[in-house]
Structure 1
Amino acid sequence: MVDAGHAAAPQYVAIITDGNGRWAQQRGLPVNDGHAAGADTVKARLRDAAEWGVKELTVYSFSTENWSRSAEEVTGLMRMFSQRLQTETPELKAEGVRMRFIGRRERIMPALLDQMDWAEQETAEGDRITLFIAFNYGGRAEIVDAARRFQDGTEEDFARLLYAPEMHDPQLVIRTSGEQRLSNYLLWQSAYSELVFADELWPDFDRAAFRRCLDTYGERERRFGGR
């Protein structure tokens, strides 16, 4: 049971990291330069989150709908993701970060799947913060995949069939770039999440902007259907 009342600092935070493409376009850069800048921002905000006591940070890295983008952009994203896993996994392991990937595994190259499995195994003992990376992820797809295996039972039984049953429901969902929608993100888990929308494009979402979002959450009153 969750106690109603003013929210303390959130321990479970999810972010829709939106705006990489527009950030690049504003600067006359290729879109994948925006994704690279966005990946740098993920690492920086992950470190902030760990410093501020967040225990789980979930980031929307690549959605099931993103396959509709140009082949050049998708290929560049996959290449960058692979390179980042290779170079940054040891670094994150040393910082006590546990990495966990959520999403469908089909359509992902076998070599990249192997890297994802390796990164999870390498960081499995991390106990400072868990970084959930939503990759080839869709909220509806997750619910459909769980429903295929669900026989009968309670909401708790159903939740155990989601991609990461150990994940806590996010207390706070942040979306950057000024857009105000969930875009098929953590639909089951966000049923009672507080939503905060930030105007900054994701690569511009700095430490101060992140702090403002966490402080906004702290000003909310969470009643969970009560009065």
Structure 2
Amino acid sequence: MKKIYFTITALLVTLCLAGCSLPVNITPDQPQPDEPSADYAALYDGTLRRVREVVIDGFDTTQNTDGCTGIQEITTSLEPDEALNSIGYSIQDLSGDGVPELIIASIEDNGDLIRYGSQLLSVYTLAGDVPVLTLEGWARNRYSLLENGDIFHSGSGGAMYTAFGTYRLSHDGTALDCREFYFTDETFEGSGEVSLYYSTTDEWNTDTAEELHITSDEFFAIRDDMELNVQYIDLIPFSEFR
């Protein structure tokens, strides 16, 4: 899996992180980032402009708003300037096929020297030079990049229905391949009790999944351990996109 690149020097990261509490893990030997190819940036330009319009104005029923649910959640009550500094993007190859993906994410730190975040709101790749949506995240359907290049997912459908797991982008970046999937389900209808399950597919199917005989605390500790490896991504705020 290709490394996530950062646009700042390791020394500057060290100085900046000394004053903040985000659990970003950055090592001094990380290379300087390369600017994305102008051709790739141009191919994603239309998508970036569409997203920027949603950031500023919200949904328009005449627009294609695929990939914008989480963006709308974050920006709906914000003034335009604040909204533009709350959402950022990065163009980098996540799948390792040599074609960079477009990442749209929420900015969790918006200081003068560094802007980064971990909540992926949408990821696009190119299929025949046309941007296609690979994943879309929002508050109850969250995605984050892990340090090993996997994608962490956590979702909820109510008190009894929770799921989390890890995925990897397919080589062409157009799909998510499940690596491990944990979920809860009602033990039987009307019981009010919850059972815990594990699967290597992301099918919410109690008949094919393995039931886990562990405590609820142990179950959610697995999720918490996964989240410890979330990778923060350096982002360009939409306030700088022209």
Q: Judge same fold: TM > 0.5, yes or no.
A: no
User: Comparing both chains, which one has the higher relative contact order based on Cα–Cα distances under 8 Å and sequence gaps of 6 or more?
Assistant: 1
More helix by share: 1
TM-score normalised by the chain length of structure 2: 0.24
Larger Rg: 2
Q: TM-score, normalised by structure 1?
A: 0.25
